[in-house]
Amino acid sequence: MDTQRFWNLIEEARSQVPSPDDGDAVVERATALLALRPPQEIVAAQQILQDLMAASYRAPLWGAAYMINGGCSDDGFDYFRGWLITQGRGTFERVIADPDALAELPTVRTSAAEGLDIECETALNVAWYAHRTATGADLPDDSFTSHRPELAPDWDFDFGDAEELSRRLPRLAELYAEPDEVEASARP
């Protein structure tokens, strides 16, 4: 299992579920597909997942998750990035490069309209579930490493500062603006 094969697994799972935006459905299918692989590939998939979580551990993305979910704890940010991984490589890479691009995703637009959180905690355990299914045993704890890189110091501000967050993520800010804010901004 390498990174490309991991992403292929996610895309295959997405193609086999009725709603590929549904992270939990993607995880369920990806788990079933991964469980068919040899145990060493399942273990390798967990390391790839950890590496993707580290690659997406970025303050601008955290700010976007904060805006989308109306707040975002450490765990909440993990669950948000789990959902992002289930959206496939293209979306993942585009959003890592430009978190404000989340405003273009139909799921995010629906979330904004309906006031729903976006997260997928189960994505963090896809290899654990697959390993248990394939072998009957837990994934060995020492079979992967995880780390969190340092966050960008230029994003070291309180995400509760709506004005600053809106300045940095204008498309998301527009999408998540309160109706009275949109009305006020439309006046001459």
pLDDT tens readout for residues 47-69: 999 999 999 999 999 999 999 99
Q: For residue 115, what are its two tokens?
A: 């006031």
133 and 35 Cβ atoms separated by less than 8 Å: yes
Instruction: Tell me the C-alpha distance between 59 and 156, whole Å.
Output: 8
172 and 67 Cβ atoms separated by less than 8 Å: yes
pLDDT tens readout for residues 127-149: 999 999 999 999 998 888 888 88
24 and 119 Cβ atoms separated by less than 8 Å: no
Q: Give the single-character DSSP code of 137.
A: S
93 and 156 Cβ atoms separated by less than 8 Å: no
pLDDT bin (cut points 50, 70, 90) of residue 179 is: low
